[in-house]
Amino acid sequence: MLDENRGQRLVILGTGGTIAGRAAQSGDNVGYVAGQVSVADLVAAVPALAHLPLVVEQVAQIDSKDMGLPVWQALARSLAAHLDDPAVSSVLVTHGTDTLEETAFVLQQVLQPRKPVVLTCAMRPASALSPDGPQNLSDAVAVARQATGGCVVVVCAGQVHAARDVAKVHTYQLNAFDSGDAGPLARVEEGGVRRFRAWSAGDSRDAAPAQASPDLLERFLAAEALPRVELVTSHADADGNLVRALAAQPAPARPLKGIVVAATGNGTVHRSLVEALNEAKASGVRVVLASRCARGRVVPHAGLAFEHSHGLSPVKARLALALELLMG
Ligand code: SIN
């Protein structure tokens, strides 16, 4: 239901991705270049959006594999300004699928929005014989118009996912996203939103990492770089050489502050890697454990070698630690 006290304007920010991709042949769903079609043209391709009070803005035009702080800052700055405008009801973002979960997580953490922020994407380029972008965009608009609470969600293939839970799990299928044990928040069916559970940032089942602070957005926007946090994987036949090379500070301008370990199973780490990680920790580097398993979380227990990620996936744990370190 639309909130009577909220403005009605929708803002759609474009950042590129496959949804804005173009291939030389319309039958080609994989050999395309991402980030070619403007967000204005993507919106114009969905006739049902024509009558809506929409504002579109091209924030970036990239393949999301290249996502990083400068585009996140531009996006957060634009989102913050639009969300502050009483005439705006919600903001949508078109984005590539490859790092969508990272952008959704960062935006949730730094903005803590009180209005809906809806990210959407596509697995087929805009030039495809049967592109999925127009339906995803139309579904995302339906979600943005019907959501009441503030939080960042992802809409893809008829499902609505929470920023904290969502992960890309398939390289090719249109239904490429999954929310793991939590499941999706809702489904979109012919423009209606069927909710499965409550829908706000406060609904998180695990304790939130300690970066929700009013100063965070300001520091994030002012940062030249995020504190350096690297991701390493524990695997059979691992040794500590990679960790020791990182800790030797090959980039003194951006010294290593943290390591997230994509650990095996319930947070276990190869003993050779534990040794090197303990050396890094002794030199002041924070070490956090997430699981490399596709589902589940590191269940806290006394035997863990290092602190755990509060249920965050390795890529999100890396961002959570960087944001926490940014706050000092
Ligand atoms: C991208 O992430 O920008 C390219 C891949 C995609 O959107 O599916």
Q: Would you say residue 188 has pLDDT above 80? A: yes
Candidate from 206-210, 213-217, 276-280, 314-318 with smallest mean pLDDT:
206-210
CA of 97 to the centre of ligand 1 (A): 4
Equal CATH topology for 9-195 and 226-326: yes
- The answer to whether 77 touches 221, Cβ cutoff 8 Å, is yes
Within 10 Å of residue 192's Cβ, how many Cβ atoms? 10
Q: How confident is the model at residue 149 (pLDDT cuts 50, 70, 90)?
A: confident
pLDDT in tens, 36-51: 999 999 999 999 999 9
CA of 171 to the centre of ligand 1 (A): 10
Q: Would you say residue 211 has pLDDT above 60? A: no
pLDDT in tens, 101-140: 999 999 999 999 999 999 999 999 999 999 999 999 999 9
User: What is the average pLDDT across 173-177?
Assistant: 98
Mutation pick for ligand 1 pocket among 18, 30, 67 (CB with most ligand atoms within 8 Å):
18
Tell me which of 3.90.1640.10, 3.40.50.1170, 3.40.710.10, 3.40.50.720 is the CATH number of domain 9-195.
3.40.50.1170
pLDDT in tens, 20-75: 999 999 999 999 999 999 999 999 999 999 999 999 999 999 999 999 999 999 99
pLDDT in tens, 217-238: 999 999 999 999 999 999 999 9
- The answer to whether 69 touches 326, Cβ cutoff 8 Å, is no
The DSSP element (H or E) to which 258 belongs, if any, is strand 256-263
Identify the pLDDT of residue 202: 46
List all residues whose CB is within 6 A of at least one atom of ligand 1.
16-18, 34, 63-65, 96-98, 121, 123
User: What is the average pLDDT across 313-325?
Assistant: 98
pLDDT in tens, 298-308: 999 999 999 99
CATH (residue range 226-326): 3.40.50.40
User: What is the average pLDDT across 89-108?
Assistant: 98
The domain segmentation of the chain, as residue ranges, is: 9-195, 226-326
Give the whole-angstrom CA distance, residue 52 versus residue 257.
47
Identify the pLDDT of residue 201: 54
Hey, what's the torsion of the CAs at 184, 189, 192, 194, to 10 degrees? -30
Mean pLDDT of the chain: 93
CA of 162 to the centre of ligand 1 (A): 19
159, β-bridge pairs: 156, 187
Q: Confirm whether 18 is a catalytic residue.
A: yes
Most distant CA atoms of the chain, gap in Å: 62
Count CA atoms closer than 13 A to 137's CA, side-chain side: 33
CA of 130 to the centre of ligand 1 (A): 17
- The answer to whether 162 touches 208, Cβ cutoff 8 Å, is no
The single residue of 18, 97, 99, 103 carrying the catalytic annotation is 18
Closest protein CA for atom 1 of ligand 1 = 96
Identify the pLDDT of residue 103: 98
